[in-house]
């Protein structure tokens, strides 16, 4: 398979997963499915953050990335969970830890 064909296949898989339920019209699902969809975004973002911070290179690694996470949590508390507050405090903590280590 050529590199171009591989990229097109990746795009097809990714787009199919995105469009599968987005084209569905009608009422939002209720019951267990509805509750699953309610909590899924939070579970997704916490999982993305945890995997990215705890295993930045694939293996579990207690690095200064965790200092950034601490900074982000402080930023969330101080700035009433604002997006820019979490990013700024987390980035500042990371840069400070890099200077120290």
Partner 1 sequence: MLRDPSFRTGLRDGGVLVPAVALFGVAFGALAVEAGLPRWLTVLTSVIVVSGAAQFALVGLLATGAVPVLVATTGLALRHVPMGARLAGMIGPRSTALRLALAWVLVDETFGLTITAAQRGVADPVRYKAGADLALYSMWVAFTAVGALAGGRVDPETWGATVFFPLMFLALAAPLVRGRRAWMVVAMSVAAALASVLVLPEAWRVTGAAAAAAAAGTLLPPDRAGR
| Residues in touch with partner 1 (CB under 8 A) | 1, 3-4, 6-11, 13-25, 27-29, 32-33, 35-60, 65, 68-69, 72-73, 76, 81, 83-87, 90-91, 94-95
Closest CB to partner 1 among residues 84, 100: 84
Contact indicator for 57, 45 with CB cutoff of 8 Å: no
Q: Please, is 88 exposed, middle or buried when counting C-beta atoms within 10 Å of its C-beta (0-12, 13-18, 19+)?
A: middle
* Residue 101 CB, nearest approach to partner 1 (Å): 13
Q: Give me the sign of the Cα torsion angle 19, 24, 27, 31.
A: negative
* Residue 62 CB, nearest approach to partner 1 (Å): 11
């Amino acid at each position: 398979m050529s590199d171009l064909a591989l990229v097109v296949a990746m795009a097809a898989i990714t787009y199919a997963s995105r469009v599968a339920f987005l084209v569905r019209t009608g009422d939002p699902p209720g019951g267990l499915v509805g509750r699953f969809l309610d909590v899924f975004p939070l579970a997704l973002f916490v999982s993305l953050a945890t995997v990215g911070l705890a295993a930045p290179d694939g293996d579990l690694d207690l690095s200064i990335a965790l200092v950034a996470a601490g900074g982000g949590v402080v930023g969330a508390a101080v700035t009433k969970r604002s997006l820019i507050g979490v990013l700024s405090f987390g980035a500042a903590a990371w840069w400070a830890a890099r200077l120290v280590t």
